[in-house]
A and B are shown apart, each in its own frame.
Chain A
Amino acid sequence: MKVSLNWMKELLPGLAAFTADLPALCDRLDMTGTGVEGITNTGAALDRVVVGQITDKVKHPNADTLWVTTVDVGQDEPLQIVCGAQNFNAGDKVPVALVGASLPNGVTIKKSKLRGEVSCGMNCSARELGLGDDADGILILPEDAPVGMAFGDYRGISDTILDLEITPNRPDCLSMRGLAREFSTVLGIDDAVLPPVQVNEVGGSIHDAATVTVAEPELCPRYTARLIRNVKIGPSPAWLAERVQAAGARSINNVVDITNYIMFLTGQPLHAFDYDRIAKGDDGRAQVIIRRAHAGETITTLDDQLRRLTPANQLITDPSGPITLAGVMGAENTEVKDDTVNIFLEAAVFQPEITSRTSRGFALLSEASLRYERGVDIEQVLDAQTRACALMAELCGGEVAPDVIDVYPTVHQRPTITLRGSRVQALIGERIARETCEAMLTGLGLTVQAAPTPKAFDVTIPAFRPDLTREVDLIEELLRLHGMERIQATMPRTAHAGGLSPRQRLRARLETVLRAGGLNETMTLPFADPADGERFGLTDENAGAAARLHNPMASDASELRRLLITNLLHSVALNLSRGTRNVALYEVGAVFTATEGRKQPKEAEHIAAVLTGSWDKTRWNEPERALDFYDAKGILELVVRELAVNRFQLKVADPARLPFLQPGRAADIVIAGQTVGFIGELHPALAAQLEIDQPVAVLEFATKPLLAAARDSRGFVEPSRFPGIDLDIALVVDESVQAGTLVERLLSAGKKTPLARVRLFDVYRGAGIAEGKKSLALTLSYRAQDRTLTAQEIEPIHERIVQKAAASVGAELRS
């Protein structure tokens, strides 16, 4: 809401004492709930331009066309100003730009010498002041112009406009009248009194010229109309144009400006119809009906748009059809034009909800719709109507017809709220004196009476404060006027324990491990591109059905993600495109799948990682190594170790289930027999589509089952104090034999023997090994708890174990 301080000072003379210290005034407004979002000084460019009087004028000694003038600007000493204009005489009053003035045309005035003569300012033309195109000479002011007065003040073009943030609960503050009440209360000055207006009624009653029917009073609780005949449409007088412009509207013509002016003054939107263009009923009277739109009905609004309507819109209609989208925008067919003679003036109250939905539905936000959305003062409609009629008579020569149409079936009953002093203290933590409370509430325009119960008030609420419906709303008013700053800070007194839950602590530890493993945390948006779903081969079977948005911002963000890696891989591509080849990212985030019959999609927290490039290309003492499957697996193993995850294994995945991974390099992450995620390398064909030109290892799992499998401790085995024996073997096996299987077989064959550990240390293919075979080199460690083992003791055992295991996988011992 834009508030002209000139206008406000006219309403509230006491405000003048506060406008000199503008920051303090704004602070007071901020701290009582009316946020000052901006301050504009109109006429600011005319700072340091004053009214001056030319006391002397002599020819410039060194220039034929210049004058050296002596100018009285109300200071101790007159100024010497060199001037090139020819249209003035000694004694003339003129606008003088002092040194330091910065004019609207961008010129900054400095002390200077013109052809040897000092010049301490400039006598200004209208054009130089931005007041018109007249540049022929300096602007000569009337003789009574007071010397030394700021020119902006003299011309009345200096104003300060405050841009105020009005919260949605304060419709009363969307008017100068309401804000004057608020200002007077927070500043402790007298409230505005709007002078009563009288309307001279002429000619036949409106009842003989028009009828109004409201179909659904709950959608239009009050509708008033007056008829003004024989108006002359023309430009507004300067004061009116200035007022509506200061409030942020354009000056259109006298009639439209009056409706806007009254709206800004009172908060009551008004709509002027061209009476003669409203269709008449059988009885010859304009027949105005307020009703819901029929499905498919259309209206061409003032912005020349054809709008298709539904019963969720309310219309003002005549027998020919819609003539206004109620409370939102008028129609071209009854618009006031230059040749309009008779005005049908509407001042009504429409239900906030239907008005809001209509204006937002059509993206037609206007000053009127804003006020209807927030709630218009139903008790004040006629006052606004009367003020507008009086101005139409005064400024447009209109003749106001007798009588008012006022469809107001349910007269507003003011509610009364009981306010207990004990509740005030209980809620804000401090006592506010009874007298102070009473004064503050009265200042807001509420009626305060002692309640039957002790230490309580009964407060009656006028219609302009629809936000005050409960005791707590009154306490809020008291707190903000008393000052939140004055409340002494305390802390809640009860003892209560806090901290992260065990699961939250575990997840934090899990993330620490991921970072220790080299992964950097990132976040992506939760939206997914259906095209990505296809590229990744996601189906309802392998990934669940995607949850869809009704109103996505773009077609490539119309679903919710089912996996985290889809968007993470786009981050990989972005890094590559920016020249970063080494990327190691993880994300913790929700994924969503829709289920037929369920309202909300199923939501699960996942953790995913992507790895590509190498750990660090700046490694100076090691060859660069490309990250692959085993780097991702290594990180997963760190997690499993740190969280002591029970029964963790990787299983070769069915390629149909993970089509986005390279077959043969894809595995299910299985915990306690349940698949919780996957790990693998990105399918090269998909990588190419994503503009990724190097191998990427990925992993993703659901957090919940992983954390559930974490153990507090993994048990304890006392380390042997006796040295053991390590024996190395190399076994040649078919390619199809997994190292893990061989290790398992060895361990199983070594059960109940001193075999403590089997560690794989090399995989070899090539010279000496047949095609389709590989050599696995392993270290078998033997330990006893109670003694030092000897070679003689272990060798036969070792032989038996190796032979048994080798036979079970068809391995040959490599010599």
Chain B
Amino acid sequence: MSLIEQLTALGADGLASIAAADSAAALDAARVDLLGKKGRLTGILRGLGALPADERPAVGAAANRVRTAIEDALTTRKAALDAAALDAQLAAGTLDITLPGRARPIGAQHLISRIRDEIVEVFCGIGYTVAEGPEVELDFYNFTALNHEPQHPARSASDTFYVVDRSTDAETWTGPEPSDVLMRTHTSPVQIRTMEHTKPPIYILAPGKVYRRDVPDPTHLPQFTQMEGLVVDRDVTFADLRGTLDYLCREIFGSQVRTRFRPHFFPFTEPSAEVDVSCNVCGGTGCRTCKGTGWIEILGCGMVDPNVFAAVGLDPEEWSGFAFGLGIDRIAALRYDLPDIRMLVEGDMRFLRQF
């Protein structure tokens, strides 16, 4: 067998062994067998020098062809084996993407705070700031400065929580109520505190907890969360109050909502009104939520009473203003149809985590 024939046979055999290699190791063995230091092709190539000079070019060219073919086959086969190995590895690594993700569970905001923040945002957008005040108040701020008559029923110890006065005043106290220190019954005292220390124009919102002596039941709690609004400026009118609350109601309940202002009475505003929004459940045709009226009462409001201005030393001829108050718990109860508002203060994780 001539050397060229040998080379051709080796080439064919080598390509077959490369094609048969089914793993990186087998392929490497084939490479060593052919091209390694002691490889068969290497052996032949090494023997080239001993050939007669006239045979060398032909044999050399044949040897190079075979080597190139083998090297190409090795590269191709290696790529195929690598691709197959990667496929197998990827197949083995398939995840069940429905298994839960891995993070510490994020906490939920209380639904009352959520609604409070929503309303605060609406008003911050139209130039209001947020004012705060103490929850234990003095009669002056909670009632007297807000134009409540001395015998106003809300003052009675059956309606309002009174706190023990630890000052010397307590010894000389003769008022009909147990003291003049109380748990605020509304957020309106923040109006007075703000007007006392801030010069108009005033555009404030005062969210906060308030307290009344209601026995807890599915629709009552001794604590609820209110939102007070107060505007004092020059030339503020009832029409401005309407516009502002229309805006609020649309932002909170949607652009389709209609409002209606019913004249009412509050000691600290005159004129006063209650505001209804069209029922979001039935759209105003009447249903269980709105008790068939098509309307849901949502806030109380009015123009600041001149007596309130007098209590804080503002001239009602120079300044006018409006105030409004709404119950956040009520909006929460409406929005979520809560069967029992005591859930709001229980801290049941299953309840809290829904919001």
Contact = CB atoms under 8 A, between A and B. Distances in A.
Contacts of A620: 99-100
B150 interface: yes
A548 B109 contact: no
Given A353-B151, A592-B136, A501 B129 contact: yes
A489 B213 contact: no
B164 A547 contact: yes
Contacts of A527: 222
Interface centre among A480, A516, A599, A615 (most CB of B within 10 A): A599
A217 interface: no
Interface stretch (A78-86, A104-112, A550-558): A550-558
A600 B136 contact: yes
Interface string A429-461: 110000000000000000000000000000000
Contacts of B117: 508
A428 interface: yes
A493 B157 CA distance: 43
Contacts of B71: none
Interface centre among B102, B127, B163, B235 (most CB of A within 10 A): B163
B201 A582 contact: no
A493 B262 contact: no
A603 B348 contact: no
A426 B237 contact: yes
Interface in A456-487: 470, 472-473, 475-476, 479-480, 484-485, 487
A808 interface: no
A261 interface: no
Given A518-B106, A598-B167, A429 B240 contact: yes
A728 interface: no
A27 B34 CA distance: 104
B271 A360 contact: no
A479 B238 contact: yes
A571 B110 CA distance: 14
Nearest to A480: B263
Given A484-B262, A521-B113, A574-B346, A549 B107 contact: no
Interface residues of A, number: 102
B158 A429 contact: no
B222 A553 contact: yes
Given A476-B270, A498-B123, A597-B167, A511 B109 contact: yes
Interface stretch (A30-38, A132-140, A201-209, A249-257): A30-38
Interface stretch (B1-9, B85-93, B176-184): B176-184
A518 B346 contact: no
Interface string A330-372: 0000000000000000000000110011001001000000000
A18 B10 CA distance: 117
Contacts of A598: 166-167
A494 interface: yes
A572 B237 CA distance: 50
Contact of B107 (A353, A480, A518, A568): A518
A230 interface: no
B164 A548 contact: yes
Contacts, number: 279
Contacts of A752: none
Given A480-B263, A484-B263, A599 B181 contact: yes
A581 B265 CA distance: 49
B138 A360 contact: no
A515 B105 CA distance: 9
B135 A590 contact: yes
B134 A603 contact: yes
A585 interface: yes
B349 A583 contact: yes
A568 B237 contact: no
Interface centre among A490, A552, A618 (most CB of B within 10 A): A490
A516 B103 CA distance: 10
A485 B260 contact: yes
B104 A615 contact: yes
Interface in A556-607: 560, 568, 571-572, 574-575, 578, 580, 582-586, 589-590, 592, 594-601, 603
A791 interface: no
Contacts of A498: 123-129, 203
A18 to B, nearest CB: 19
A472 B305 contact: yes
Interface size band for B: 35 or more
B163 A600 contact: yes
B37 interface: no
B107 A516 contact: yes
B80 interface: no
A689 B320 CA distance: 57
B151 A356 contact: yes
Interface string B226-267: 000001011111111011101100000000000011111100
Nearest to A575: B349
Contacts of B102: 619, 621-622
B190 to A, nearest CB: 14
B19 to A, nearest CB: 43
Contacts of A580: 348-350
Nearest to A552: B161
Interface string B67-78: 000000000000
Contact of A550 (B127, B157, B272): B157
A550 B239 contact: no
B112 A523 contact: yes
B153 interface: yes
Interface in B164-218: 164-169, 176, 178-179, 181, 183, 201, 203, 209, 211, 213, 215
A599 B169 contact: yes
Given A484-B263, A590-B135, A492 B236 contact: yes
Contacts of B179: 550
Contact of A551 (B110, B213, B320): B213
B238 A574 contact: no
Contacts of B181: 599-600
Given A515-B109, A601-B136, A496 B163 contact: no
Contact of B244 (A35, A492, A501, A594): A492
B283 interface: no
Given A427-B237, A517-B104, A521-B352, A603 B264 contact: no
A498 B151 CA distance: 38
B108 interface: yes
A618 B167 contact: no
B344 interface: yes
B29 to A, nearest CB: 40
A590 B133 CA distance: 11
B302 to A, nearest CB: 9
- Across the A-B interface, give the 5 residue pairs with the lowest CB-CB distance, nearest first: A571-B347, A429-B239, A429-B237, A33-B263, A167-B265
29 contacts: A357-B151, A429-B238, A472-B303, A479-B263, A490-B239, A491-B244, A493-B235, A496-B233, A498-B203, A515-B106, A515-B108, A519-B107, A520-B110, A521-B110, A523-B344, A525-B345, A526-B183, A527-B222, A549-B164, A551-B158, A571-B347, A580-B348, A584-B107, A585-B352, A594-B166, A599-B138, A600-B181, A615-B104, A620-B99
Given A35-B262, A501-B130, A616-B104, 17 more contacts: A31-B263, A427-B271, A430-B239, A479-B238, A485-B261, A487-B238, A488-B239, A490-B243, A500-B130, A514-B107, A521-B110, A549-B162, A550-B161, A568-B347, A598-B166, A600-B181, A615-B105
Interface of A: 30-33, 35, 167-170, 312, 352-353, 356-357, 360, 363, 373, 426-430, 470, 472-473, 475-476, 479-480, 484-485, 487-501, 504, 508, 511, 514-527, 547-553, 560, 568, 571-572, 574-575, 578, 580, 582-586, 589-590, 592, 594-601, 603, 615-616, 618-622
